[in-house]
């Protein structure tokens, strides 16, 4: 029987035939795809013709079609709908893949041919995109250790394989802790909770087969519980469980994994001639150096901490007024901040949330894309990997552009957070292929499903990433869509969040779940006025995480990451009642792989640009200014990584931005 993962799919839009793919198909498909890719690479390396851009660089671009197909399906499913069989496959695949790509980067004959093309680049009459692809390919070989020999070369292979294993183990440990813990709630424990929290707790209880409602460690449930539960003892228990993920001892403890990962990264960087891992990692980013990153973060830290300290005094007084003695704790902040919001802005989330229906927010994100870029979205009835998923055919002027898949609800089989991935990326070589893009979120189920304002921002954020994939228009897949510098990749996503705040968008799509009526004008005004409420807290928890990440990698790897984390927080004066957004044992951005290692700052680096970029719309004819939208697509969304990020932003805006627009957007200018 033919393995469905190893054939070209004769399905609508070439979508994976999820209904015919079984877990048993992945291992044999992976083995055959790896062997086929190895044969293709060996043929490129052994080619006796003089090396050219076509027979080396383009040949590598065209190689590995089967492998790309297997990996894209497997890793999309493994992250969003895991099970024991898929977790076992991940543990098996990760070192195999690391070894496979390490062999390619260590292939001396192949590197010699790449080097020859690179040396002759000025004589090859390459297009700008081809020159960029050649530079990235050559640089990738060098940074992967292609120039290493002997013991150093062998050790690099070992390090890469071990890091792949550790990253998978870190992710699975975190998923296990999040999946296995829940706190049963008696009916009296629900007192004072808004209906949407109660509904989510009952749905979570059903999923866990519990006898009644529960609180889980899904952010979409635990955060509103911490906001609204008057039971301080239960808030404390829930918060401490949330903060302890990955640090509970036993088989799922991530602290040892973090220490070993940091040591191996340092060793890897030094084998390549860098002082430390941050110097290696940041070389290819817009920021360039650890000092540039630290300067940005500290420019924001000072006003954010000042604002948070003022807010903490007010919350402590509210707690004292409730007769609670002692200091404000991390499990108190969200509860009293929510009460204070109700006072300062005459606003509470329970009033707002019915206006943010998931389906209406999806419509809103699509409608903005229609108005900005002329895209249309038509529902598709096709097999997908989970019953919760939905798909749309994306068209422009009647022509197919992409398929978009949305997977919005939290479940035990899905890792935490939200992300965008591509089952197939856009390219024009070696054949034309349109993208298949997936947004994965972790919203609480309900009938209807209701979002917090932050949830709605997350939906817009991930759809901004999706648009970067959907509107990509480059020749080569290696520079398609979100294949850009890490501190540039968040620009389209964070920029798209701004359209949620456009009053006309909310007037049309923020309609009440029961009455269908539009959000009243006075409530809309309050929602927008409160958009920067508690921004001191939000900025502090983020920047603290980014500074810890940077410190982990900018110098000798700490033997005890938890002690190092504590020292960094002490040095910057971390407010006692605010926890890091991602403490080390849960910091999947940094330890599940090295994508965001030394790079968690990138959200803020991109925010400097997104605040400035949206200001350019406001300075023109408003949020939907057609000339600005066309420039955004032409210079950024369609270009992927086909040119330098700073160059692309300058083409769009005419200059690079400063930090002032970010501080203004966060409401922190007066705290600076």
pLDDT in tens, 520-533: 999 999 999 888 99
Nearest CA among 389, 362, 388 for reference residue 377: 362
CATH number belonging to the domain at 251-345+536-600, selected among 1.20.1250.20, 1.10.1040.10, 1.10.1370.10, 3.30.2090.10: 1.10.1370.10
* Neighbouring C-beta atoms of residue 630, cutoff 10 Å: 13
Per-residue pLDDT averaged across 582-597, rounded? 95
609-630 pLDDT tens trace = 999 999 999 999 999 999 999 9
Tokens at 64, concatenated: 């590995």
All CATH 1.20.1050.40 domain ranges in the chain, comma separated: 4-147
Q: Is the pLDDT of residue 394 over 60?
A: yes
CA distance 581 to 572: 15
CA distance 462 to 419: 6
Please measure the distance between the N-terminal and C-terminal CA atoms of the chain and give it in whole angstroms.
Answer: 66
Cβ atoms of 450 and 425 within 8 Å: the answer is no
* Neighbouring C-beta atoms of residue 74, cutoff 10 Å: 22
Nearest CA among 42, 15, 28 for reference residue 93: 28
Nearest CA among 433, 417, 511 for reference residue 80: 417
54-95 pLDDT tens trace = 999 999 999 999 999 999 999 999 999 999 999 999 999 999
Mean pLDDT of the chain: 96
CA distance 279 to 596: 14
CA distance 653 to 632: 9
Q: Is the pLDDT of residue 421 over 90?
A: yes
Tokens at 11, concatenated: 């399905």
At 672, is the pLDDT very low, low, confident or very high (cuts 50, 70, 90)?
low
Tokens at 482, concatenated: 């979100």
- Backbone dihedral angles phi then psi of residue 424, each to the nearest 5 degrees: -150, 135
All CATH 1.10.1370.40 domain ranges in the chain, comma separated: 354-532+603-671
All CATH 1.10.1370.10 domain ranges in the chain, comma separated: 251-345+536-600
| Architecture of the CATH domain 354-532+603-671 | Orthogonal Bundle (1.10)
**Per-residue pLDDT, 148:** 93
Query: Taking every pair of C-alpha atoms in the chain, what is the biggest distance, in angstroms?
Result: 83
Q: Which CATH superfamily is domain 4-147 in?
A: Endopeptidase. Chain P; domain 1 (1.20.1050.40)
453-472 pLDDT tens trace = 999 999 999 999 999 999 99
| Beta strands 390-396; 399-409: pairing state | antiparallel
5-27 pLDDT tens trace = 999 999 999 999 999 999 999 99
290-327 pLDDT tens trace = 999 999 999 999 999 999 999 999 999 999 999 998 99
Per-residue pLDDT averaged across 139-164, rounded? 95
At 448, is the pLDDT very low, low, confident or very high (cuts 50, 70, 90)?
very high
Reported residue count of the chain is 672
Per-residue pLDDT averaged across 166-171, rounded? 96
Q: What is the DSSP letter of 355?
A: G
Nearest CA among 426, 505, 497 for reference residue 468: 426
> Nearest-5° angle of CA 10, CA 366, CA 381?
30
Q: Is 627 a catalytic residue?
A: no
Q: Which of 58, 266, 462, 633 is catalytic?
A: 462
CA distance 496 to 487: 16
* Environment class of 556 (CB within 10 Å of its CB; exposed 0-12, middle 13-18, buried 19+): exposed
Whole-prediction pTM: 0.90
CA distance 102 to 157: 6
In sequence order, the β-bridge partners of residue 402 are 394
- Backbone dihedral angles phi then psi of residue 626, each to the nearest 5 degrees: -65, -35
Q: Is the pLDDT of residue 669 over 60?
A: yes
């Amino acid at each position: 029987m033919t393995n469905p993962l190893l054939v070209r799919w004769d399905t609508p839009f070439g979508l994976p035939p999820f209904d015919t793919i079984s877990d048993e198909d992945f291992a044999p498909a992976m083995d055959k795809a790896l062997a086929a890719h190895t044969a293709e690479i060996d043929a490129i390396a052994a080619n006796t013709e003089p090396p050219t851009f076509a027979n080396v660089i383009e040949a590598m671009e065209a190689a590995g079609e089967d492998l790309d197909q297997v990996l894209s399906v497997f890793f999309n499913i493994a992250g969003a709908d895991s099970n024991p069989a898929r977790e076992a496959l991940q543990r098996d695949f990760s070192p195999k893949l690391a070894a496979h790509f390490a062999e390619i980067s260590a292939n001396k004959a192949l590197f010699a041919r790449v080097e020859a093309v690179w040396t002759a680049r000025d004589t090859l009459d390459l297009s700008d995109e081809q020159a960029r692809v050649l530079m990235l390919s050559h640089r990738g070989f060098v940074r992967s250790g292609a120039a290493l020999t002997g013991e150093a070369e062998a050790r690099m292979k070992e390090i890469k394989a071990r890091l792949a294993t550790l990253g998978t183990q870190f992710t699975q440990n975190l998923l296990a802790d999040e999946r296995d813990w829940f706190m049963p709630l008696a009916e009296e424990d629900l007192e004072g909770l808004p209906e949407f929290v109660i509904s989510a707790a009952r749905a979570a209880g059903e999923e866990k087969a519990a006898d009644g409602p529960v609180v889980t460690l899904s952010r979409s449930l635990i955060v509103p519980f911490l906001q609204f539960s008057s039971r301080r003892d239960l808030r404390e228990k829930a918060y401490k469980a949330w903060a302890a993920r990955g640090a509970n001892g036993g088989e799922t403890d991530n602290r040892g994994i973090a220490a070993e990962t940091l040591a191996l990264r340092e060793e890897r960087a030094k084998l390549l001639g860098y002082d430390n891992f941050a110097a290696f990692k940041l070389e290819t980013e817009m920021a360039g150096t650890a000092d540039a990153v630290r300067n940005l973060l500290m420019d924001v830290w000072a006003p954010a901490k000042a604002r948070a300290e003022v807010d903490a005094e007010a919350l402590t007084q509210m707690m004292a007024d409730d007769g609670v003695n002692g200091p404000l704790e991390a499990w108190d902040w969200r509860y009293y901040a929510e009460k204070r919001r109700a006072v300062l802005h005459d606003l509470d989330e329970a009033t707002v949330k019915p206006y943010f229906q998931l389906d209406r927010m999806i419509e809103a994100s699509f409608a903005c894309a229609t108005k900005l870029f002329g895209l249309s979205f038509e529902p598709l009835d096709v097999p997908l990997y989970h019953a919760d998923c939905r798909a749309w055919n994306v068209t422009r002027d009647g022509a197919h552009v992409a398929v978009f898949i949305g997977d919005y609800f939290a479940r035990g089989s899905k890792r935490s957070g939200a992300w965008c991935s591509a089952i197939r990326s856009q390219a024009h070589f070696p054949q034309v292929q349109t993208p298949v893009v997936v947004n994965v979120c972790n919203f609480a189920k309900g009938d209807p499903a209701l979002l917090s304002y932050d949830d709605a921002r997350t939906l817009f954020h991930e759809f901004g990433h999706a648009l970067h994939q959907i509107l990509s228009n480059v020749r080569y897949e290696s520079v398609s869509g979100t294949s850009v510098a890490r501190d540039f990749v968040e620009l389209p996503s964070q920029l798209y969040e701004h359209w949620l705040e456009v009053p006309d968008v909310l007037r049309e799509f923020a309609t009440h779940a029961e009455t269908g009526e539009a959000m009243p004008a006075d409530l809309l005004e309050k929602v927008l006025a409160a958009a920067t409420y508690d921004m001191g807290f939000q900025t502090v928890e983020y920047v603290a995480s980014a500074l810890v990440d940077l410190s982990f990698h900018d110098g000798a790897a700490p033997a005890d990451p938890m002690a190092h984390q504590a020292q960094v927080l002490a040095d910057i004066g971390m407010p006692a009642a605010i926890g890091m957004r991602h403490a080390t044992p849960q910091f999947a951005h940094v330890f599940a792989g090295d994508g965001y290692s030394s790079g968690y700052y990138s959200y803020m680096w991109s925010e400097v640009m997104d605040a400035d970029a949206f200001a350019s719309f406001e300075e023109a004819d408003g949020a939907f200014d057609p000339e600005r939208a066309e420039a955004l697509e032409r210079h950024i969304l369609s270009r992927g990584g086909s040119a330098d990020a700073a160059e692309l932003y300058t083409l769009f805006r005419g200059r690079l931005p400063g930090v002032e627009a970010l501080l203004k957007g966060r409401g922190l200018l007066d705290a600076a």
